[in-house]
Amino acid sequence: MGLPQVSLGASAANFDIVAKYRSLLADDPGMTMPIAAIQALVAALSTHDTSTTTETMTLLAAYTDKLKTGVPNQISLSAGTDLFQRFLSHSIKPGADADFAAVVRHMLSNGQLFAERAKAARAKIASRGKHCIRDGRTILTKGASRCVQGFLEDAARANIRFRVIYVLSSLNDTNGIDMVTSLRTHGIPVATIPDAAVAYTMHKVDMVFVGAEGVLQDGGIVSQLGTHQLALLANIKNKEFFVFAESHKFVRLFPLGQFDLPIEQKAIRFYADDDDEAVETWGSRSGTQPAEDVHPQLREEIEQRERLWASGAVENAVDYTPGKLISTIVTEGGMMTPSAVAEELFKIWL
């Protein structure tokens, strides 16, 4: 039996958990989405004077729902909210209501400690992943993963000689340009190619490295749009496909295909002519809102997105790569096969 449904009352009206989540990510470029979700929930709960376990867990559920519904892609942050809920349920023991203030203090301090440990996970991944690469290798990567970048730079500091081919996405890949610049400052030879040249280039590649927004129960991943086709091409050419991801990104989700993800991206839009609206997005012509009734700021945003879609780009879009296309997943705990992810999630949630 689940927790009772609750609406956030007037005392929470001034706390915007979605804004807090976004500000955490903006203020700290090194923070992952699950950790930002945890810290946002800690901040939200700290604004309330709850006095019982039930009240706290109900409030947590309400804030979690508000956060998930306020973010377009909630897959990665769901890993953080799930972990925090498990942490809280284990921290608050039966009968703890008598000294609930001490429990809350423990929760807040440990929530911060968890975030710090999660940030340190990338350094451990870089150390454990050194066995993946040897001198003379050529590595293909895309998506500007901070885990992959940290690993490559650490390997260069260890005097391992290798080259990198970076796939510049048709999206606005400013993070990719920053990663290329950083790798080159560490003495790593880097070539850039457009995503249209991946199949052409794959013969020159020894292995593929990518990061992930979420690692799913089947060992598959959710990552930047285009990762799935990268994995398919690597599989056809018999190239090893490595995923670098912190264990706090493991998510209890088992999709059967691309459109089973619990997000709506509207990456496919059909037009009959220049004046036609996309049926998937706006409904029939008779049901659409007249342009003059749309707020000017919203109209500008719609026009900007339509320009992006018209050029073939989809902002912040992701896709699903099945575990059968992945060779190895590298976490701070070591290297594992995709089939081991379900077992790891079972241990966490047992």
Topology, domain 125-254+317-349? Rossmann fold (3.40.50)
Q: Which two tokens stand for residue 269?
A: 């839009």
Q: Which CATH class is domain 12-122?
A: mainly alpha
Inform me whether the pLDDT recorded for 197 exceeds 70: yes
CATH 3.40.50.10470 in the chain, residue ranges? 125-254+317-349
Inform me whether the pLDDT recorded for 30 exceeds 90: no
Per-residue pLDDT band for 334 (boundaries 50, 70, 90) equals confident
Average pLDDT over residues 46-72: 81
Provide the whole-model pTM.
0.77
Strands in 121-275 per DSSP E: 137-141, 162-168, 190-194, 207-210, 214-215, 221-224, 240-244
**Between 192 and 316, where is the model more confident?**
192
CATH 1.20.120 in the chain, residue ranges? 12-122
Q: Of how many residues is the chain composed?
A: 350
Average pLDDT over the chain, rounded to an integer: 79
**Quick one: pLDDT at residue 1?**
37
Which of 59-68, 89-98, 116-125, 252-261 is the least confident region? 89-98
**Quick one: pLDDT at residue 287?**
40
Inform me whether the pLDDT recorded for 215 exceeds 70: yes
**Quick one: pLDDT at residue 316?**
72
- Rounded CA-CA distance 230/228 in Å is 5
Inform me whether the pLDDT recorded for 296 exceeds 80: no
**Quick one: pLDDT at residue 253?**
85
Inform me whether the pLDDT recorded for 169 exceeds 50: yes
pLDDT tens figures, 80-133: 888 887 777 776 665 555 566 666 666 666 666 766 777 788 888 888 767 788
Cβ count within 10 A of residue 319: 19
Q: Which two tokens stand for residue 156?
A: 């260069």
